[in-house]
């Protein structure tokens, strides 16, 4: 069995090589869970 030698392409493991499916934009490095990031509001929707 030589299949175990081939690294399986894990999407969640490599967020930098996979764009955000929700926003359609390239996911920034370090972000791989929530493409919208509710805790980090965008500048146009900044309540401050």
pLDDT, tens digit, 9 for 90 and up, residues 16-42: 555 555 555 565 665 555 555 555 555
With a threshold of 0.85, does the pTM exceed it?
no
How large is the C-alpha radius of gyration of the chain?
Answer: 16
- Within 8 A by CB and 6+ apart from 25, the residues are 19, 35
Q: How confident is the model at residue 47 (pLDDT cuts 50, 70, 90)?
A: low
Residue 8 DSSP symbol: P
Neighbour tally for 37: CB within 10 Å:
13
């Amino acid at each position: 069995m030589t299949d175990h030698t081939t690294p399986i392409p894990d999407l969640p493991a490599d967020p930098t090589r996979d764009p955000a499916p929700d926003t359609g934009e390239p996911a920034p490095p370090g972000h791989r869970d929530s493409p919208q990031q509710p805790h980090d509001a965008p500048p146009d929707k900044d309540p401050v």
